[in-house]
Structure 1
Amino acid sequence: MMRGIAAVLGRNGTAAALPALLLAPLPMAAETWRCMLQSPCDERRCDNTEIRFTIDADQFAPPLDRGDPPRRRVTQVRFGETSFEAEPIMSGETRGFWLQTADGRARLLTIRADGAALYSEDPSGQTWPGHCEGID
């Protein structure tokens, strides 16, 4: 058996590289989301607002070395006509993002496994229900 492995890997030391290759982290897929949220209604109308963002799953990989500094997780969110950076959420089957703005407001979007979504802002307390789907 060892003779067969040596024949496949060659005799010039390439076998030493095999463990490193097997332990190298594999790239994970990015998830792009498109959400339609119902914004708060006024006396005249209710609008839908589109949100798009991508979660790079590689940002959630554990560090290769315990001494590595924490990684910053960032996603670019397109919210209607505006865009901003937020921290993506990837926990079990829950997806979304959150951020704390410079003026102290918090924004949070959570997406359940069935696509049901809820966007909320603090301190206003506004919530926007909606639905999201993963897109390619």
Structure 2
Amino acid sequence: MMCSKRKLWAETFLRSTFFGGLRSTQRSESINSFLNRFLHSRAKLYEFMSHIDRAMSRLRNNELKDDFDCINQHPVLVTHLLQLEKHAAEVYTRNIFGRVRDEINAEAKLSIVNCVDDAESVMYTFRKFAGGEKT
């Protein structure tokens, strides 16, 4: 019963959660794409197991390398929001950090045109510095 109602609450529950650009289906699509490089439809069971083992070894190795890089390499901070950028560098992988840095840089190209503050929310209107386009 509760499982059938999850569509009613899951989106609302996760609405304000940041996932670093990942969609809900993106992870399974990515794994399927990765495994398809190692598998073919005519594989015998022992070949299948050998291919899966090789694929899993590569995934584990890539994850260990990413962990090592995150622990031992610190990116150069270059945006105008140094504290936010530093925090993002500490909590996200280098790949996701790159996306966060891109968002910070995109924010630097905006200026606040208007601010409407009511009892429950604040709504800002932004304009790009160069083109004058509203965003």
TM over 0.5: no
Q: Give the TM-score normalised by the residue count of structure 1.
A: 0.23
